[in-house]
Structure 1
Amino acid sequence: MPLVFQEIDGDLFSVASNVSLAHCVSQDMSMSKGIATLFRNKFGQINELKNQNVSVGGCAYITSNDRHIFYLVTKEKYFYKPTMKTLESSLRTMRDLCIKNNIHHLAMPRIGCGLDKLNWDQVS
C-alpha cells in the first residue's frame, strides 16, 4: 500500500480521535520545550516512555484512549540536534509499528523543523 502524504495546516490536537499522533523527542524524554511540552502535558506517561529504553533512531509509543502516540527518538539529549539520518531511522521504526498495529492515519507537526532546525523541504 503506497504512502499518501497530505500537508494540512491546523491544530494537531484537534484531529479525529482515530488518528494517531507523532512528534520528535530526545532519548532522555525531557520534553521541556516546544510542542513536546504539549504532548507531555496532554498524554503524560513519561515513566512508561522512559522504561521502553528506546535508542536514538527508534520510536517509543503509548496509547491514550485507544489512540497511539508515537515519540520519534531523534537525538540523545534535549539540547542536541537531530540529523536526517536519525530522523529517517525513527520514521522507519514508526512505519513498522504502524504496520504491526494496523494504523492507517497519522498526524504530526513539521517534525524536526521547529526547535530542532532541520529543513522542511528536505524532511518532507
Structure 2
Amino acid sequence: MSTCKIKEISGDLFSANEKYSMAHCVAADMRLGKGIAVKFRNKFGQIPKLKQQNVKPGGVAILQDKSRFIYYLVTKESSWGKPTYQTLHDSLQAMKTHMYGLFLLLIHLYSRQLKNDVCKLAIPRIGCGLDGLVWQKVKDLLQEVFKNTPIEIIVYNYVP
C-alpha cells in the first residue's frame, strides 16, 4: 500500500487545482467569521447546509463543490473557543473515513485505480493560525492519521 505524501508550498490555498478537495478548521456554531474561514464562507457559502449537518467537535461537515469535497473540520464548540489536538485528530479521522472510504468503494465498484480526485487534499496549516496549535504537532497528526493511505496533501503556507 502506498503512503501518504505531505508537501508544503508557499501560496494561496484558493489557487489549488480543482482536483484537490479542501479542508480547514471551524467551530460547531459555523460562524466562519475570522481568518481563512471567512474566505471559505465567501467562496463556498451554504452555511445553512453546514449547520443542518449538526456536527459536533471531533466530526466533519462536508460540502460538495463540483467534483471535489470541501471539509469543515469541527474542532471546537464555539468560534471563540480553542481546539485540542484530540478534537483535531478525531476530525481528521472522520474526514479520512469519508475520503478513503469512498476511495475503497470506488475501487471495489470499478475494479480499477481511482483517478486521484478523492485522494488529493489542499489545506492551510490547519489549527495553527488563530486557533494557536503548533504546526509540527499538527503535521505529525496528519502523518499518523493518513499513514498507509495513498492520499496526497498539499499544505499552503500563506504568503500575502
> Is the partner of 2:10 in helix, strand or coil?
coil
What is the aligned partner in structure 1 of residue 157 from structure 2? Answer: none
Q: Which runs of 5+ in 2 are unaligned?
A: 104-117, 140-160
Identical positions, percent: 51
C-alpha distance in structure 1 between counterparts of 2:8 and 2:96, whole Å: 18
Distance 1:100 1:123 in 2: 23
The structure showing larger relative contact order (alpha-carbon pairs under 8 Å, at least 6 residues apart) is 2
Greater gyration radius: 2
Q: Which amino acid aligns with 1:18?
A: K
Aligned to 1:79: 80
Q: By how many angstroms is 1:122 displaced?
A: 1.1
5 Å matches for 1:16-35? 16-35=17-36
- Residue pairs, 1:55-74, within 5 angstroms: 55-74=56-75
5+ unaligned residues in a row in structure 1: which ranges? none
Match of 1:8 in 2: 9
Could you say which residue in structure 1 is the equivalent of 2:113?
none
- TM-score, length basis structure 2: 0.75
Q: Distance in 2 between matches of 1:35 and 1:81?
A: 15
- Higher percent of residues as strand: 2
